[in-house]
Amino acid sequence: MKTHIEYLDYIETIKDVIIGETLEREDAETLIWEHADSSEHVIYYGKAHDLVHLVRNWDSSLYNEAQDEVEELNGGEFLDYDTYATRLAFSIIRIHLSQLVYEQIEKREEAAA
């Protein structure tokens, strides 16, 4: 993934898959974690570094939020550079997917009410 448009398309595609499977928040949370955890951008160091770099340059608030999450979940454990990048990539994807999926669920709930 080389551009933020490719990143947005990637996240949007995953969001659509999750919304297509469930509109239940608890089930959606599970699917969000599964998709983020199994992403090639989390599994492979090089892709994780590319994603982190891309998001850091494009959306610093998302990057900072992911960095805070990694530090919180890490519990003070020292992480090597590659491991840190993969955890940041996971958090970036998880946070962004959560925002999009829950926004979509809320819209549908409002429309149904």
Mean pLDDT of 77-96: 95
The pLDDT of residue 49: 97
Q: Looking at the predicted structure, is the pLDDT value of residue 1 above 90?
A: no
Q: Determine the Cα–Cα distance for residues 86 and 42; give it in Å rounded to an integer.
A: 5
Question: Residue 98 has which token pair?
Answer: 């959560």
Confidence of residue 75 (pLDDT cuts 50, 70, 90): confident
> Does the global pTM surpass 0.85?
yes
The pLDDT of residue 36: 98
Q: Looking at the predicted structure, is the pLDDT value of residue 20 above 90?
A: yes
DSSP state, 41? H
**Cβ contacts of 52 within 8 Å, gap of 6 or more:** 63, 85, 88, 89, 92
